[in-house]
Structure 1
Amino acid sequence: MIYTITLNPAIDRLLFIRGELEKRKTNRVVRTEFDCGGKGLHVSHVLNQYHIPNLALGFIGEQNRPEFLDILNKRAISHCFFVEPAKWTRECFVVISETSSGSTMMPEAGFTVSQKNKEKLLFFIKERVQKDDYVVIAGSPPPEFTLDDFKTLFSAVKETGAFLACDLSGEFLLYAAKNGVDFLKPNEEEVKILGHKANEDVLQNIRLLMGKIRYFVVSLGKKGSYVAHNNKIYRVIAPQVTEKSDTGAGDAFVGGFIAGLFENLSIEEVIRKATSVAASKVQYMDSSTFSLEEVEHFKKEISIIEVEGM
């Protein structure tokens, strides 16, 4: 079983406009759609497409619980969310142009999670997660969810012996990198901070960090990625696609990567799956859609070069 943890999920309100978003102009919305928001939920969606058993965990507000769960049910995402009374699950407004690429995101902050619900999540992990499972912690924390809160959650997962994957930022990312996880995916700027070598080549920073992390991925956006595993570093060149929205592309990559590991694929096959899922995702305007047929096609267009072995 794979458990995805989204500490601060959202309802993505997709606002479609014609042309570019401009200041001092009436940018009329031509249609509105809704999608699940939050990195862990996007990972769950990818896993669903590959029929891999998974359960989404996290916290949601009572006030708009029906609307949020309706979106999850339409995506067939199995879930166990702990409900915060009298609170609203945040919305993320995503402005998307119908005639050009790219999007603009405006996320709300979310609500403060009670100690009671934090403890419920910890108890669930202790009781349900086994050493053969995978746990993916992804996304930003809710307000007042401290580093100490994260350390407690991190330790609870580590104690189960399960595979731990993290897609985080800020101090949470720093803590995960220092304390050893099975999968980590910083971007090019974040890896410089992690390696304390801001002026060095990205490979220098990867060499410093890869020993503690079984699968260490550095995202380069459209340029692809570096993947470090088993004392080897691979340069991955992504296929060229027509981008409509990059929202959720990194999450799609994580979902594809975890799916490949769960299926016991070779490291190169895992990389091809993850990169292809992300490439397919950017061709769609919402936060999570991708095509399995496109994934199979894109796998053939990916270049993987072993740039360094140890």
Structure 2
Amino acid sequence: MIYTITLNPTIDRLLHLDGELTKEKNNRLESIAYDIGGKGHHGSFAMSKLGVENQALGFCGTTNKGQLDKILEQKNINHDFVEIYGKPTRESYVILEKGISGSILITEKGYDVSSYAKSLLFDKIEEKVGAEDTVLIAGSMPPGFEIKDLEKLMMLLNKIGCFIACDLSGEALKTAVKFGVDFIKPNRFEIEELSKQGQTLLETVKELTKTIDYVIVSQGGAGSLCGHENEFYQIKPPAVVVKNDTGAGDCFVGSFLASLTQQKTFVDALTFATACSASKVQYNDSSSFSVKDAENLQKKVVVEKID
């Protein structure tokens, strides 16, 4: 079983503009749509799409819970959240310009999480998670959830003995590295915070794999640099037309962890996750991808082994 923990979830409001976003102009909307937001939730969607059993944990607000539940049901995401009463789950605004690749993302800060809510989450995790399970902690931390709380969560998971995957940034990422988790996926900017002075990217990845089983550095459209058990690869994605890149990295993480659960090799897991991510960016929303398309795109993923 895979559990995803999204500490600061969001509902994505997709704003489709009738043209290009321009300052000092009335930018008209062509349409508005909603999608699931939050790194862990995107990961859960990918896992469910690939037929891998999982459950989304974390927090959610109560005032717009009906809308969130509706999206989760549409996406077939099994979930069990700690509710923050009287507060809404935050929204992210994904701006999509007509005829222009990519997206603009604007995200609300989120609600404050109380000590009581944190204790409920920790109790839920202790009750559910076993040593044979995988736990993905992904995304930002909400106000009130501090590094000391993340450390407490890491200690709990270490005590359980499960596989710990983290898609975090900043001090949270450094905390994950300190605890020697099993998987991290920093981007090309976040990895710099983990590098020693004068180290190359490859040297940093090699250093990190001494204590972390899987290290994957996302390099955007250039692909990823990946390390596991003294094997290192540069993975290059196939060329596709990008409509919305929001959630592409989360799709990669969910697909990769699902592939490991399905006993795929490291390289097969990498190439398939890369293909799923490439399929995802061709969709207008934040989470959709095609498994069939990914299977075809996987054949076009370039794998370069690094000595």
Bin of the TM-score, shorter chain as denominator length: over 0.9
Matching residue of 2:150: 150
Matching residue of 2:300: 301
Percent sequence identity is: 43
Alignment length (residue pairs): 307
Residues 1:271 and 2:265 aligned together: no
Matching residue of 1:80: 80
Contact 1:195 1:209 in 2 (8 A): no
Q: Counterpart amino acid of 1:253? A: F
Q: Distance in 2 between matches of 1:217 and 1:49?
A: 22
Residues 1:232 and 2:200 aligned together: no
Matching residue of 1:132: 132
Contact 2:256 2:269 in 1 (8 A): yes
Q: Counterpart amino acid of 1:187? A: N
Matching residue of 2:65: 65
Matching residue of 1:38: 38
Q: CA deviation at 1:159?
A: 1.2
2:91 is paired with a residue whose SS is: strand
1:188 is paired with a residue whose SS is: coil
Q: Counterpart amino acid of 1:136? A: L
2:209 is paired with a residue whose SS is: helix
1:212 is paired with a residue whose SS is: coil
Matching residue of 1:256: 255
Q: CA deviation at 1:196?
A: 2.4
Q: Counterpart amino acid of 1:179? A: F
Question: Displaced runs of 4+ in structure 1, greater than 2 A?
Answer: none
Contact 2:114 2:144 in 1 (8 A): no
* Matches for 1:105-120 after TM superposition, within 5 Å: 105-120=105-120
Q: Distance in 1 between matches of 2:204 and 2:51?
A: 36
Q: Counterpart amino acid of 2:238? A: P
Q: Distance in 1 between matches of 2:236 and 2:160?
A: 36
Q: CA deviation at 1:201?
A: 2.3
Matching residue of 2:56: 56
Contact 2:154 2:179 in 1 (8 A): no
2:263 is paired with a residue whose SS is: coil
Q: Distance in 1 between matches of 2:103 and 2:237?
A: 20
Q: What's the CA shift string for 1:130-171, capped at 9, x where partnerless? A: 111010000001012110011111111111111100000110
Q: Distance in 1 between matches of 2:126 and 2:118?
A: 13
Q: Distance in 1 between matches of 2:228 and 2:199?
A: 21
Q: CA deviation at 1:190?
A: 1.4
2:24 is paired with a residue whose SS is: coil
Q: For the aligned residues, what is the CA RMSD? A: 1.0
Q: What's the CA shift string for 1:193-229, capped at 9, x where partnerless? A: 10223x5421121122111110100001100001100
Q: What's the CA shift string for 1:238-281, capped at 9, x where partnerless? A: 11111111100000010111011000001111011110011001
Q: Distance in 2 between matches of 1:112 and 1:54?
A: 27
Residues 1:177 and 2:181 aligned together: no
- What TM-score comes out, normalization by structure 1 length? 0.97
Q: Counterpart amino acid of 1:52? A: V
Q: CA deviation at 1:304?
A: 1.0
Q: CA deviation at 1:98?
A: 2.8
Q: Counterpart amino acid of 1:221? A: G
Contact 1:18 1:99 in 2 (8 A): no
Q: CA deviation at 1:19?
A: 2.2
